Amino acid sequence: MIVLNRSSELVDWVGKEIGVSDWLEIDQQRIDQFAATTGDDNWIHVDVERAKKEMPDGKTIAHGFLTLSLIPLLVRSVYTIRMRGRGLNYGSNKVRYTSPVQVNSRIRLRQTIKAADPVDGGLRVTANCLIEIEGQERPALVADFLTIVYDH
């Protein structure tokens, strides 16, 4: 894990891979909780018995938006900023779901800082995020993820 003192140090990482997160297992409970929260209860996500019969490898798959929403959690094991204020999700660009995440798969984040632009009181960071699936060549997701990190 990279430890930075201030958000301004992210400028030094522009154009570079800042790191790779720890692995995270995507179990059925997490998928079911996401389905309950969002109302997206499509059977491909939540019906284990039907998936055994009709899905490739007989497994449910995680929601694409669940995978995207895990970026803030995964980035916690990539880098941290010691002296920082609040952080805000500013959006996502070019989100692509390139491979399904089957239940009980493990995923991790590979992150490259694309831009770090000053804003009033902080820094707007654009990071290329690649969610990898353990044992697979194709990533689950590729996206540019934008955050604003305010100074402490």
pLDDT band at 11; cut points 50, 70, 90: very high
Please give the distance of CA 98 from its chain centroid, rounded to a whole number: 14
With vertex at residue 15, the alpha carbon angle to CA 122 and CA 97, rounded to the nearest 5 degrees, is 90
Q: Tokens 């995020």 — which residue?
A: 129
- At 95-111, the pLDDT tens digits run 999 999 999 999 999 99
Q: Give the whole-angstrom CA distance, residue 57 versus residue 59.
A: 6
Average the pLDDT over 42-57 and give the result.
Answer: 97
CATH number assigned to the domain covering 2-151: 3.10.129.10
Q: What is the mean pLDDT of the chain?
A: 97
Q: Give yes or no for residue 87 having a pLDDT over 90.
A: yes
Q: What is the mean pLDDT of residues 52-77?
A: 97
Q: Where are the domains of the chain?
A: 2-151
CA distance from start to end of the chain = 21
Q: What is the pLDDT of residues 17-42, one digit of tens each?
A: 999 999 999 999 999 999 999 999 99
How many helices and strands in the chain, by DSSP H and E?
A: 5, 8
What is the reported pTM? 0.93
Residue with tokens 């694309």, as numbered in its chain = 114
